[in-house]
Amino acid sequence: MPPRTQPVPAMTAETEALLADRLASGRYQDADEALRAALRLLEEQERGEADPRRAFRIALDEQLRDLTDPVEAMVAASGMLGRELGAARAGYGEIDAAGEVVRVERDWTDGTVPSLAGGARLLDGFGAPLIAELRAGRVLVVEDCRTDPRAEGEQQAATWASIGTRALIVAPLVKAGRLTAILYVHEPAPRRWSSAEATLLREAAERTWDAVGRARAEAALRESEERHRTLFELAPFAVFLIDPVSHAVLDVNAYACATYGYTREEFTRLSIADVDALGDSAAIRARGRAGTIAPGLQSFEARHRTRGGEIRDVMVRVQGIRLGGRDVTYCAHLDITARKAAEAALRASDARLRLAIEAARLSTWEFDLVRGTGTRAGPLTQELPVVPGEGFDLEAWLRSIHPEDRAPVRERFWTVMRGEAPRFAAEFRVRRPEGTSEGDWAWVSSFGAAVERDAETDLPTRLAGVAQDISGRKAAEARRALLMREVDHRAKNALSVVQAALRLTRAEDVPSYRRAIEGRVAAMARAQTLLAEDRWTGADLRALLSGEVGPFLVGDEARARLEGPPVTLPARATQPLAMAVHELATNAAKHGALSSPAGRLRIGWWLEGGPDGRLHLRWEESGGPALAGQPGHRGFGSRMLDGTLRGQLGGQVRMDWSGPGLVCEMMVPLDPGREPG
């Protein structure tokens, strides 16, 4: 039997660049010697010795990881890179939002050239051709500013000479389609730069970008924590942090200490039951639940006892938060003792005034129970004029209410009239005037109470209250409920797809399996992001295709052409189509056009039957390795395409392996009312 041969490993970009530099130097006499050198480099690569900059990359990562100041991160990366490349100057510059000015906070020099730090320079100093390369995301390599054909004459050469520069490499950082920063090295004399040096600069630029962003985020977090701590201490009311389980006091602000008479250390040995007049945690919890005004948010009145035994009325606002990795309860205690005393003095003599204050900016109503007539005033009188402003009876008002709401509203109103309930409160629908664009019915919230009573029977003789149009709130609640159902539905679908990917993915080893799963989950995440940006109503097809194909283009977006009209995918089709395109792109990067520098990809699409008709997509590869015909077995990608496009979306898919590259034709129905299988 012939001896078994091991597959030749692919040459990394660094190894290829190193070999190219050695060939260019003329140190090999013939092709055979060059081939032997290439084989040696591959062997070194296998042993981890082909990367002469590996120690530098590790050192750079370690240095940047420990820095918390963004400017220090810029300086550290610049200095390490300048020394590693033997350059005269290195620096990190940030581009303003207009894309016109580059600013260098601090840089590094070897002392032979001046520093460029502390100044802002116009980006057009590079010249139009060089700026275009930077904006396109390509590393700019200039061996001699005076002879480079992209330089725009003597004036630009003079500009470079004014800062002591003849040769340079600049790595651009293009984020979200905008040139945001550059990392550069300069030399005062002509210099031939290697491709490995350019690659190193690009890698260092990305590492620096990440470090600067992380340092700024950490600085912002520290500032935020300090700001919130300052607000905590300076709040003109008592603030407590409470353990939600034991009700133990974890922390208080200075105002709480001054108001209650305990030191901070003494407070931390107490629970909230020690200061609340109820004195019982179960009763305190029950009162809090009764005061719930939103999920995790409570508001209620309580009575608290100071260290000296004085009872104070307080308004309590309670919010559950996550702090330092644990659940805590944030409590704001506003002393309302004086306000409660004032309210008590006013309650008997001026109930109407108290209600008017409580109902500021709302419509008002009154009903004379002796005469049997009512009056209205405020915005609802004009907006809902079905009932006149005055002189209407109770039945006329009830007839304006939606038939489904009429009986419960009548019953609540009568319980107050009979003295069986102290308050009237109801939400109901009222007919709108004909010809309005908002619909036939408006939602109204009404609140009222007895303001006059019979001296002998103590029964109400006059009711007064307030009302407001809450149609917007009701519509928002309906939309929120619909959105929550949609998110729940999509989340369950996503989990099902992840389960399928975990079960069906095959790989030769654990790292390969991990990369495959991470790629597929990332495709799902990108689809989820697109849906969330448009409130789960759909996603832009071009953005979806660009997001899935972009990571495989290695910075060269020109290798892929996207051609087609604007199309909004329905939410049901977004995630399955993203998974299908990801599998095609993964296959192209491994075996097809995107595995070769000369490979090209074209994705075209068109609509049949309008926006709710059929979407046709054509995936066409060219310039890649020659096709050996249709594969002999179906992998996960083939099953994914068939399962999502045909089985889940009710579409069609056809694969053609006979041409110069894979052609995949897909059809997807866009009917938004059709749910996926």
Q: Strands (DSSP E) along 422-513, which ranges? A: 423-431, 441-453, 460-469
Predicted local distance difference test score (pLDDT) of residue 185 = 95
pLDDT single digits (tens) 415-470 = 988 888 889 988 888 888 776 655 678 888 888 898 888 888 889 989 888 888 88
| Mean pLDDT within 564-575 | 84
- The yes-or-no verdict on residue 3 having pLDDT over 70 is no
Q: What is the identity of the amino acid at 47?
A: R
53 vs 115: which has the higher pLDDT: 115
Can you list the alpha helix ranges (DSSP code H) found in 297-426? 337-347, 351-358, 379-383, 394-399, 403-417
**Residues with Cβ < 8 Å from 240, sequence gap 6 or more?**
249, 251, 252, 256, 272, 330, 331, 333
Angle between helices 70-85 and 195-234 (to 10 degrees): 160
Handedness of CA 380, 385, 387, 392 (dihedral sign): positive
Q: Which helix (H) or strand (E) holds 546?
A: helix 541-549
The two three-digit tokens of residue 291, written as one number: 């005061």
| d(C-alpha 334, C-alpha 642), whole Å | 63
The two three-digit tokens of residue 5, written as one number: 């041969």
Our separate counts of H helices and E strands in the chain read 20, 26
The two three-digit tokens of residue 495, written as one number: 């989990």
| Mean pLDDT within 166-184 | 91
Handedness of CA 515, 517, 520, 522 (dihedral sign): negative
pTM above 0.85, yes or no: no
The two three-digit tokens of residue 150, written as one number: 């992209």
Distance of CA 548 to the CA centre of its chain: 18
Q: Give the DSSP per-residue string, 46-92.
A: HTT-S-TTHHHHHHHHHHHHT---HHHHHHHHHHHHHHHHT-SEEEE
The two three-digit tokens of residue 316, written as one number: 């309590």
160 vs 35: which has the higher pLDDT: 160
The two three-digit tokens of residue 555, written as one number: 């910075």
Predicted local distance difference test score (pLDDT) of residue 514 = 66
**Residues with Cβ < 8 Å from 284, sequence gap 6 or more?**
247, 272, 273, 276, 278
- The answer to whether residues 280 and 246 touch, using CB atoms and an 8 Å cutoff, is no
| Mean pLDDT within 173-199 | 91
Burial class of 64 by CB neighbour count within 10 A (0 to 12, 13 to 18, 19+): buried
Predicted local distance difference test score (pLDDT) of residue 611 = 73
38 vs 107: which has the higher pLDDT: 107
The total of other beta-carbon atoms located within 10 Å of residue 309's CB is 7
- Give 3-state DSSP helix, strand, coil % of the chain, rounded to 5: 45, 25, 30
Percent of the chain residues past pLDDT 70, beyond the cut: 79
Predicted local distance difference test score (pLDDT) of residue 11 = 54
pLDDT single digits (tens) 261-308 = 999 999 999 999 999 999 998 999 999 999 998 888 899 999 999 999
Q: Which helix (H) or strand (E) holds 471?
A: helix 471-504
The two three-digit tokens of residue 472, written as one number: 């917007």
Determine which of 242-256, 501-515, 663-677 has the lowest per-residue pLDDT on average.
501-515
**Residues with Cβ < 8 Å from 493, sequence gap 6 or more?**
575, 676
What is the DSSP secondary structure assignment for residue 246, as one 8-state letter?
A: T
| d(C-alpha 337, C-alpha 345), whole Å | 13
| d(C-alpha 502, C-alpha 519), whole Å | 12
pLDDT single digits (tens) 194-253 = 988 999 999 998 988 888 888 888 888 788 778 877 878 888 889 998 998 999 999 999
Beta-ladder partners of 466: 364, 447
3-class state of residue 509 by DSSP? coil
The total of other beta-carbon atoms located within 10 Å of residue 138's CB is 18
Distance of CA 216 to the CA centre of its chain: 18
What phi-psi label fits residue 153: left (phi over 0), alpha (psi between -120 and 50 degrees) or beta?
left
pLDDT single digits (tens) 311-367 = 999 999 999 888 767 888 889 999 998 888 887 776 655 655 555 544 445 778 888
Predicted local distance difference test score (pLDDT) of residue 630 = 77
pLDDT single digits (tens) 60-69 = 888 888 888 8
The two three-digit tokens of residue 7, written as one number: 């597959």
What's the half-sphere exposure (Cβ side, CA atoms, 13 Å) at 314? 24
3-class state of residue 1 by DSSP? coil
Predicted local distance difference test score (pLDDT) of residue 357 = 47
**Distances from the Cα of 172 to the Cα of 198, 200, 239, angstroms:** 11, 13, 49
State phi, psi for 314 to the nearest 5 degrees: -135, 145
The total of other beta-carbon atoms located within 10 Å of residue 283's CB is 12
The total of other beta-carbon atoms located within 10 Å of residue 424's CB is 21
pLDDT single digits (tens) 238-255 = 999 899 899 999 999 998
Residue-averaged pLDDT of the chain:
80
Q: Give the DSSP per-residue string, 619-667.
A: EEEESSSPP-SS-SS--HHHHHHIIIIIIITS-EEEEE-SSSS-EEEEE
Determine which of 135-139, 375-379, 389-393, 428-432 has the lowest per-residue pLDDT on average.
375-379
- The yes-or-no verdict on residue 123 having pLDDT over 70 is yes
